[in-house]
Amino acid sequence: MVTGPRAFLAQWTTVTPVIAVVLLALTWGRSLPGAVVALLTIVLAASVLAAVHHAEVVAHRVGEPFGSLVLAIAVTVIEVALIVTLMADGGDKSATLARDTVFAAVMITCNGVVGLSLLVASLRHGIAVFNPEGTGAALATVATLATLSLVLPTFTTSAPGPEFSTVQLTFAALSSLVLYGLFIATLTVRHRDYFLPITRQGEVITSEEHAHAPSLRTALISLGMLGLALVGVVGLAKGVSPTIEDGVAAAGLHHAVVGVIIALLVLLPETIAAVRSARRDRVQTSLNLALGSAMASIGLTIPAVALASVWLSGPLVLGLSAIHMVLLALTVVVASLTVVPGRATPLQGGVHLVLFAAYLELAVNP
């Protein structure tokens, strides 16, 4: 029998997702008092840590880059379901929900997670090293998806306002699916080595040698627990969102701050996993998580809301404002300059974090 810290970790990370889902079922759609909101917040934080643990178990079993892909897709699928649910309940006031959520995910991952990972790795190991071929391909896909889905609607004239016509929305949805599918094929089949961590001499690290891979049974259990934990994270985030909305309104802040806070909560598992990989000098894994999450957020959300718009009433506003387009363009330029050398210092990490801070500041004071 396994005892000690590892046994305790395995026990609480297995129990916590179950507790989260039970609490979610008991509180879904109800007005909650402050004490219950505090309890949900504690369980939400514990579920984030449990999700990270189980994601790392699955990643260790299947290896990179499949492990990063599992976590990114799992989080995004549940996030998309949450967006569609909120849109169905929100009416006209949810017209910008998909746009705000997707853009928040892009800024959090491409600036917050990337910047933090580069800063942690470079401070701890002197310099952060990664594969520019795989990272550059991922960044190019994210930039294309973001432009086609979030920038073009501001300039099209077939529909009034920053909206797509039905034909344009269909094209954007199909393009998103095609590009994301091509990326998955490149990541997992044709050029998997482009997305594996590398040494400082440029050699690909194909396996982790410090520990034995978990058994198939253990990996399958962790996969199930990962799904439960992510359902709990996203669902409980929705449960505490009315309290967050009231707090934001009481503070006199812009309503977009609510979406930023929810996105930060939902993306916490990937953020923690990326930073932990950066501490182990596996920066490529961190970048796979960050850019893969941004790509999945656009590539899966846009087709989902396009399909949902068939039966949902009200407008679907996807076009970004001018200030957000400037931030997106600056992010793409800076990220491109970061990726090209395949190496980064604390300066590059700091630049991305300043861009992320600018996004948060402008969300509070647009």
Place of tokens 């627990």: 225
Place of tokens 């997707």: 102
CA–CA gap between residue 176 and residue 148 (Å, rounded): 9
Q: How would residue 46 be classed by pLDDT, with cut points 50, 70 and 90?
A: confident
Q: Worst-scoring range by mean pLDDT, 22-31, 209-218, 331-340?
A: 209-218
Who's near 158: CB < 8 A, 6+ residues apart? 164, 165, 167, 168
Overall average pLDDT of the 204-221 stretch: 69
Place of tokens 């961590």: 197
CA–CA gap between residue 225 and residue 217 (Å, rounded): 12
Cβ atoms < 10 Å from Cβ of 312: 17
Tell me which residue of 242, 244, 260 sits closest to 364, measured CA to CA.
260
pLDDT at 118: 96
pLDDT at 152: 93
Model pTM?
0.81
Read off the pLDDT of residues 160-183 as tens digits, 9 standing for 90 and up: 778 888 899 999 999 999 998 898
Tell me which residue of 276, 328, 315 sits closest to 121, measured CA to CA.
276
Overall average pLDDT of the 231-246 stretch: 76
Which residues in 235-274 are b (16+ Cβ under 10 Å) and which e?
bbbbbbbebbeeebeeeebeebbbbbbbbbbbbbbbbbbb
Overall average pLDDT of the 316-342 stretch: 93
pLDDT at 160: 78
Read off the pLDDT of residues 56-105 as tens digits, 9 standing for 90 and up: 788 777 766 676 677 777 777 767 776 776 676 655 667 777 888 889 98
CA–CA gap between residue 47 and residue 231 (Å, rounded): 9
- State the chain's maximal CA–CA distance in angstroms: 67
Domains in the chain (CATH in brackets) are 5-364 (1.20.1420.30)
Who's near 339: CB < 8 A, 6+ residues apart? 132, 135, 136, 139
Q: How would residue 339 be classed by pLDDT, with cut points 50, 70 and 90?
A: very high
When comparing pLDDT for 333 and 204, which is higher?
333
When comparing pLDDT for 84 and 136, which is higher?
136
pLDDT > 90 in the chain, percent: 29
Who's near 144: CB < 8 A, 6+ residues apart? 179
CA geometry: angle 330, 357, 43, nearest 5 deg: 125
Residue 6 has pLDDT above 70, yes or no: no
Q: Worst-scoring range by mean pLDDT, 63-72, 103-112, 295-304?
A: 63-72
CA–CA gap between residue 284 and residue 131 (Å, rounded): 7
pLDDT at 2: 44
Overall average pLDDT of the 215-235 stretch: 82
pLDDT at 11: 76
DSSP string over 104-154: HHHHIIIIIIHHHHHHHHHHHHSSEE--HHHHHHHHHHHHHHHIIIIIGGG
CA–CA gap between residue 67 and residue 192 (Å, rounded): 12
Q: How confident is the prediction for the chain on average, in pLDDT?
A: 83
Tokens of 71: 């976590």
Q: Worst-scoring range by mean pLDDT, 47-61, 72-86, 281-295?
A: 72-86
pLDDT at 1: 41
CA geometry: angle 209, 191, 138, nearest 5 deg: 100
DSSP lists the bridge partners of residue 246 as: none
Residue 226 has pLDDT above 60, yes or no: yes
The upper half-sphere exposure of residue 93, i.e. CA atoms within 13 Å in the direction of its Cβ, equals 6
